[in-house]
């Protein structure tokens, strides 16, 4: 991406964030879905940031997109999660494995906000191990018939299109499908009993004898697991970038509050133990920025040389490392910010408390802490026999 285009995109993201903030805060306190997010994202043309220009997007490279997600992450993990669901794991698999016809059919309307996207891998009994999924498909004449339940899906309640995964009833291999959620056979339910992210949509859906056109299989038959795992690299990077934004916002808010709030006759920022919180948040910011940008650069390098297996493995590993580091660093940073804010920190009226509740999920979705640690350790040990799980 040319520097001028990058600057324009980041300026649009900044304008979107400024326009969204007041309504996001209101919706958060009222515990309801932010109905202005999509219209504002549409207005600022940021619903297809990394999608190639020829398919209606902005053509951002991974580094630029990560910077955009970090800025969006400052507005809250719920806001950033919408973009991860729609773009990083929704549009991304279609961009990467879709046929030209599928790209033309689904990407331009998704960039215009006419179609919202999501990614359906997790099921009630298949989370960390997606191979335990029970969703199935079978070919019947000119279409596939799909049955199954997908659980804890970002944007499930608002999506028009979901990239989802199911086993063949015939050969027990997983394939990927582009599901039109406005067709018969779809039931959905919003999951509202969440610890955080009240302004974002998280849901479940089921397909009952859902008829999917043959043309909507994504990638070659039997390639679903590879597509799902490849998409998670993009997803993990988006979570890591969003967590960097959370840390940045915790730092901005904490510096401001440390100067404004006085106790014992002086600004709390003049108490040395309060300064310790600021130093800890800054270190979380610095290290997370380094690892997120390194992972984004590695993904761009791998994309520029698609046949290079070494670059691909490196970018997968760095995305896992960035996600593991930044999500834990953001959790710690939000905790420091809450402490620095005192009683107000433990209130949803202030940003640190909201960040703390929301960012906790980043250590769970797109690969839990445990799964990412196992992945990193197995790679260090360097042999299939060290893979703690398959």
Interface residues with ligand FAD (CB under 6 A)? 85, 118-122, 127-128, 152-154, 202, 361, 364-366, 368, 370-371, 374, 388-389
C-beta of 103 vs 375, nearer to ligand FAD: 375
DSSP letter (8 states) at residue 388: S
In angstroms, what is the minimal distance from the CB of 75 to ligand FAD? 17
In angstroms, what is the minimal distance from the CB of 119 to ligand FAD? 5
DSSP letter (8 states) at residue 132: G
**Contact 146/166 with Cβ under 8 angstroms?**
yes
β-pair partners for 136: 147, 167
Catalytic residue among 316, 366, 370, 385: 366
> How many Cα atoms occupy the beta-carbon half-sphere of 35 within 13 Å?
2
In angstroms, what is the minimal distance from the CB of 100 to ligand FAD? 26
C-beta of 117 vs 293, nearer to ligand FAD: 117
Query: How far apart, in whole angstroms, are the C-alpha atoms of residue 28 and residue 78?
Result: 10
C-beta of 278 vs 374, nearer to ligand FAD: 374
Q: CA distances (Å), 339 to each of 51, 86, 258, 343, in order?
A: 40, 34, 11, 8
Query: How far apart, in whole angstroms, are the C-alpha atoms of residue 159 and residue 53?
Result: 23
In angstroms, what is the minimal distance from the CB of 87 to ligand FAD? 12
Query: How far apart, in whole angstroms, are the C-alpha atoms of residue 259 and residue 246?
Result: 20
3-state secondary structure of 235: helix
C-beta of 82 vs 106, nearer to ligand FAD: 82
Of the candidates 9, 26, 62, 12, the one whose C-alpha atom is nearest the C-alpha of residue 198 is 26
| Bridge-based pairing state of the strands 136-140 and 161-168 | parallel
In angstroms, what is the minimal distance from the CB of 148 to ligand FAD? 12
Q: Is 366 a catalytic residue?
A: yes
Q: How many CB atoms lie within 10 A of CB 78?
A: 27
C-beta of 257 vs 365, nearer to ligand FAD: 365
Query: How far apart, in whole angstroms, are the C-alpha atoms of residue 273 and residue 270?
Result: 9
Residues with active-site annotation: 366
């Amino acid at each position: 991406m040319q520097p001028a285009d990058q600057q324009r995109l980041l300026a649009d993201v900044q304008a979107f964030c400024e326009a969204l903030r007041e309504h996001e805060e209101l919706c958060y306190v009222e515990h309801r879905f932010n109905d202005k997010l999509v219209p504002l994202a549409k207005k600022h043309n940021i619903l297809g940031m990394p999608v190639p220009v020829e398919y209606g997007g902005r053509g951002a490279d991974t580094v630029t997109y990560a910077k955009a997600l970090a800025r969006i992450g400052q507005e809250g993990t719920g806001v950033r999660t919408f973009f991860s669901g729609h773009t990083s794991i929704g549009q991304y698999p279609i961009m990467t494995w879709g046929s030209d016809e599928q790209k033309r059919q689904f990407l331009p309307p998704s960039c215009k906000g006419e179609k919202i996207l999501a990614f359906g891998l997790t099921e009630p009994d298949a989370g960390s191990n997606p191979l335990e999924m029970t969703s199935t498909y079978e070919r019947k004449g000119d279409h596939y018939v799909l049955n199954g339940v997908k659980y804890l899906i970002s944007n499930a309640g608002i999506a028009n299109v979901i990239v989802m995964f199911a086993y063949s009833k015939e050969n027990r291999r997983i394939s990927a499908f582009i599901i039109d959620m406005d067709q018969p056979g779809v039931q959905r339910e919003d999951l509202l009993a969440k610890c955080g992210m009240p302004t974002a949509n998280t849901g479940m859906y089921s397909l009952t004898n859902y008829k999917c056109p043959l043309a909507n299989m994504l990638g070659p038959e039997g390639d679903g697991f590879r597509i799902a795992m490849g998409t998670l690299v993009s997803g993990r990077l988006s979570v890591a970038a969003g967590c960097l934004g959370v840390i940045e916002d915790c730092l901005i808010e904490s510096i401001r509050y440390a100067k404004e709030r006085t106790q014992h006759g002086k600004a709390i920022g003049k108490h040395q133990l309060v300064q310790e919180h600021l130093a800890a948040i800054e270190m979380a910011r610095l290290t997370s920025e380094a690892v997120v940008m390194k992972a984004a650069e590695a993904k761009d390098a791998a994309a520029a040389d698609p046949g290079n297996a070494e670059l691909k493995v490196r970018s997968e590993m760095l995305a896992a490392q960035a996600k593991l580091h930044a999500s834990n660093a953001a959790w710690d940073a939000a905790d420091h910010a809450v402490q620095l804010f005192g009683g107000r920190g433990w209130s949803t009226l202030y940003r640190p408390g909201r960040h703390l509740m929301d960012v906790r999920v980043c250590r769970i979705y797109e690969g839990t802490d445990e799964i990412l640690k196992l992945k990193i350790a197995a790679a260090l040990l360097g042999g299939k026999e060290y893979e703690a799980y398959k």
